[in-house]
Structure 1
């Protein structure tokens, strides 16, 4: 899969677990997880925090760093009886391609169906749609997502996270044609965001499963 740019940015990723300062990362075994990139320190991400309009659960606008500082910004499923956590230990970002993307719609529904598994781990999920808030609201009216649905109309957050595009200038102008999916996992323990892992798709369907994202967060939290 594609890696990050390798430049020393201000993402604050630090030295990943199992990596020496003078050598490549040495990963522990973690089941089927193979498609996340942790070989580069910043993974091509220039800025972790963002503030975007939110059409889903939680506050509007959504400030990403607030998810680390205040678990009350994420709605739990009503049937959950667990005591609310002191904080969210991780944030999973799902960068989408386009309002009309079928794979994107299927992805958010799959994560919504299993959102309790993330909340049982005190992990927050945020879907980032490169569209207006009005279009994001149409998604929310249809899918009733239990997590934030951020509207990144000007693609600033997508660019900061290095979301890939293809087909050059043409692809950059037309998201459904050129934009590719991305998943980022952030360590939020202690109330601060730190980048842990990124998966950048090489085609529209190239995105990790819910099981793989859960396995990767479990690896981080060990």
Structure 2
């Protein structure tokens, strides 16, 4: 079942782009979190989205929020993607799709491509915004907009 506004972000862990085990409890429930799911590293729309988060990362940090990107790509792919575009935020490898399933992120395009969705949680870990759109750049504006109201 898909998460809804008002639900608490579930506990999850995964390997991040530094090769470390990321535990959601280190962020969720301690500060606002922007968790965004995207289909694939180094594709046009995903790269635009990641670079938009990068370009406005300081705005997220100024609002006390952490940005976390999640896709099914491998650690090797995430490292290359983060290095190529100087991404300052966490990328998590979700090859087994456990995190995607825990959030209930649907697939796009007749169920063939992993969906693109952004979840914004307040500092207590409760979801304040769910934004699902195939357009990558809009996610950043929507996330910043809701963070400014929290």
TM bucket by the smaller chain? 0.7 to 0.9
Q: Secondary structure at the match of 1:53?
A: strand
Residue of structure 1 in register with 2:145 after alignment: 215
Q: Which has the larger radius of gyration?
A: 1
Aligned to 2:130: 198
TM-score normalised per structure 2: 0.86
Q: Which consecutive segments of 4 or more residues in structure 1 shift more than 4 A?
A: none
Aligned residues: 149
Higher strand share: 2
Alignment pair present for 1:179 and 2:107:
no
Q: Which of 15, 19, 25 lines up with 1:53 in the alignment?
A: 15
C-alpha distance in 2 between matches for 1:60 and 1:103: 27
> How far does residue 135 in structure 1 lie from its aligned partner after superposition?
1.0
* TM-score of the two chains, using structure 1 as the length reference: 0.60
Q: Which residue of 2 aligns with 1:109?
A: 51
**In 2, distance between residues paired with 1:206 and 1:109?**
10
Change (3 A) 1:48 1:207: farther
Q: 1:14-69 CA deviation, whole Å, 9 max, x = no partner?
A: xxxxxxxxxxxxxxxxxxxxxxxx4xx54xx8x6221010005xx81111110146
TM-fit CA distance, 1:138: 1.2
Residue number in structure 1 paired with 2:34: 92
Matches within 5 A, 1:17-166: 38=5, 42=7, 48-55=10-17, 60-68=20-28, 87-88=30-31, 90-166=32-108
RCO (CA 8 Å, sep 6+): is it higher in 1 or 2?
A: 2
Where do 5+ consecutive residues of structure 1 fail to align?
6-10, 14-37, 70-86, 172-177
After superposition, what is the alpha-carbon deviation per residue over 1:166-216, rounded to whole angstroms, capped at 9, x for unaligned?
424xx1xxxxxx222100011124xxx222221122xx3266342321111
> Residues of 2 paired with 1:66 and 1:124: CA distance?
11
RMSD value over aligned CA atoms?
2.4
